[in-house]
Structure 1
């Protein structure tokens, strides 16, 4: 801090220093030589112009220059109030009253601040003293109004606590609404209202009150712990972790916060790890990780529900329809409008060739998410596959799965071709049936062993059906004209092969 004497020496030896230099910016303390009045006057002008920060600097200098100047404290308090810094204004107003007890304006303003903080007894004391000190008509009227309001608040507070103790939380919350309209900075009333909201299940409102109390009250570890607990119960593990960390910043040795922190951190890490595994398409590992999540927190429905929803997705993506369908169904049993689970179960139904069910799930998902392109495309695909399944399904004809390899397809084809060889049948009707069956088997083999034709078929087109596939007539011609098209074709290996007809 540069002393006033030192500043004088600087000016003495540097005569050309501009007098416009404001010594307050160099930390100069003002003496009692008129500079205090200058700062007060300049601060007053800046305050009127709305330049609050600059005005505050001048009033700081005035207070430093004359610590017993109640006007300096009062005007600084006025700037603090204009800046919304009531906590800083209150000590200045108290200092004004200490220096000049009959300063009714300062006492009235302090009473109003104390009322907003919910300090009703102290506020009432200030209002009563204002009325005893010959105030102006305006001040007297305001003091009477505020005193009556304070008395009414006292009555409401008592009634709210009585309702709360009788577990009438709705009535208590309603009274506290009225109280907090006046006592906007009352931490105790907000904490009580937050507890009412928790009891009646309005967690969003409880969070709002607790966030306010965490700012209104310094070192409010209780608020951060409650916020973390609420977020955890709502299934928001990331917000829960953020809030409990704030508690530990205030008190690293806080036992409850640390215990809760360990639980939330473990769960958060497992969920993040599971999501990373899904991103890496390691679906089986992701399922195992989400099973671990359910073991870590079996009592909070939101985490069990979320874990099953993500397991449903991973199993569907991993082409494990037989496991995906029941898990997705569990999710939808408790949450019928879950769009993600509907989409994933629809995909699993397609894998399991249950096309009607897939169509139903995509349609249901579309009702709750109209502009989802994935749903629209999935529904169109499921509808094509359903229509196709009602005609011919080459996978079913050969008895292979949709993800069967070429080697499996050829093996199945040879077995069926031998079984349904027309020469194995003597009865004309049986032979005719076998010929048709054999043609279907051969067509299935041709489509499923040709990558281009198989891709078209998997997208709902039938390469052997002229109505379904433009150009499919070319493939159909290969089998046109009955069974004679197979002369010279040996399904069991190389070399000529001819069917024998009676």
Structure 2
């Protein structure tokens, strides 16, 4: 005999459809809509079905799906069994594939996504909080901010302002080293942005053959993550949707009129109401219930709620015996009408599990006729097939749970403990098989915990909360299902406090605008949890404060984590990194030392300590740590880039460029490295290559603030003043309080001799950042030029307070003293520098100028000659430093060697140089002429001609 290809589920669906009554108007409207041409103005592409629980939304959705299939449409249905957008996309693709319409491109990338997700979760070397970072949209936004990491050195203060984004850079670096393919890195960082366009493209191909209807049920739960995505989908951001696509959304609430207002012209709203009396009577008649007395009782008990009408109709009652008892409810009446004890057991105990399958039913009932009883159960109108098994309608299940709680609290507890043990046994069998079913094991553990909470709510809650903390740390995708499970366990067990706790945790975790701080605080401060899990919650809270740049609060939370569990090395390492971005380098190094003593192979701590050493100016120690980190993980692009940046600050430009090139070879879109290499090129005089790197970074991210600022600075040193002002203006439009850009723009104003505008920018930069040493120094120089000597000395004095061991400001203060005629003070500052830096040719030259003013011209000329020799040594050692070549020309002119100075100036102009070099040489020669009376006219004319040429 030929084997039938029809399944039991097909027969059940046919039987249910055949007996469906009511909602004829809605069914007709939907069917008529499918017949309309897509360009017909009456055509609706979006259906919003809404109404209270039990009103029949899911049943109507399934009838819509039946009609769509009969019309030749492909259909896909998802409900709350999906937990995020990638899971929803996969569920839709599976449903379409089962109808011979695979989403080919989506499936390939989705498989890659899940594969990498499992691999990364299982990697013991993964950065702390990897899973959380990969699933939180706030961090994805943070990754974009991470591109704004500025450089250290003269702008070290800015690094401390934005270095929080280093965490995200290390995450990207880790992914790059593990996955190599930058497309896979982007997939893991932004799966929705990668997968959705593929999904849209696949829909377009599939819909060319057959129309498609997508159903989104239980939207009151899934809308949390689907709502914004669906609106973005309809907006066309991910590509053009096929015209023969229809979306059906069903939930307890209508679509928000404010956010969905743009789609009123394509939308049909179906507000589900109670059955009319005629509809209820029709359904009862279809089941053979025609006795008026019975009908009146059913209508009274059910309130014409469709799911209860269908349930009682299925029992086909023939009389009204005992029906007048007002304490009876619909469930009890249904059970009285069913005399078969196996079926009574099936109806009652089948409601206990949240997800029902034959094995679970057998575990809770111990039935000797499992096949028969379970098959009968599946035919009931309130039992529907869902992902992962079958499920009662919520209204019926809730009523049956109340019945069981009332009957016997001991039986209630025993049955739930039996189910918990069942799920534990199944999970352990899967774990021992080691067949890659981690996701199913986690789902089973969730159900086990649900039943333990139902059995003993207070006793089981601490363990459930600790498991929730573990989920936060290991697989944050499970957090919403866990908090929802706690809420449901409270509702189902009749424990309001437990339900409120679950509802509270659900709301706190959904608060991404508040970075979920309340969620972690709630768990961290719960003393029913053990110290280990509270420490982990405090650690997570500390990391969020860090991300919000609330560094003191981060330190407080991380200190609590360490106090509770001193073995948490990640908390200590994270505290070290917090100290680092605060500029508290000694404390940062102390924390990193502790971690590295306990775990010498912790490359993350080694690299972070290296970064701390770098920012503290301890470059050799920084290189040693970064070398050690790269010995452990040679492919970590963040470590490679950080070592390159350290080499750059040390002046080892070849080594720096090699590291930057290597990092970019591994990750071509690494915008921070492009920016750093751009600055390196600029410092080396390769301005065209610098601009190319900045332009590439801005192609990747047009709002990349740091690259805009430094491209503007590159234009400035090239003498492209209009381009520089354009970039600086664009940067300040994005961030009006960007101190570095204000200080740089002041230099452009100075080149136009707009002194008051320059002073205003410097004043604003210092107002925003009173400790901004570079801006204070530049303002001091401008004050000196304007003859405001006391104001200049105040600025220089402030810099000396900030950096008492520094010498960079002393020569500038000496110049101010010289202008004031305070030659002894000027000479004292310059000699202080020479004691520490005896080969500083520029300072030696300044000493000569002071001595000339003092009248000691022989000593001055000797100083000028000494400066020439010192500078020539440096030129030979670093021939690419063009400004040194100009300095030699200035010193020769000061020494009276006019012809030699002119020849040297020509040589300098033939080499690589920028606009700053030329302007500085003009300023120096003019100052020399004012001080000594030397004839510098020819040299100044040559330099002015070069300026005109460059413009």
TM-score w.r.t. length of structure 2: 0.27
Higher relative contact order (CA 8 A, sep 6+): 2
TM-score w.r.t. length of structure 1: 0.45
> Whose radius of gyration is greater, 1 or 2?
1
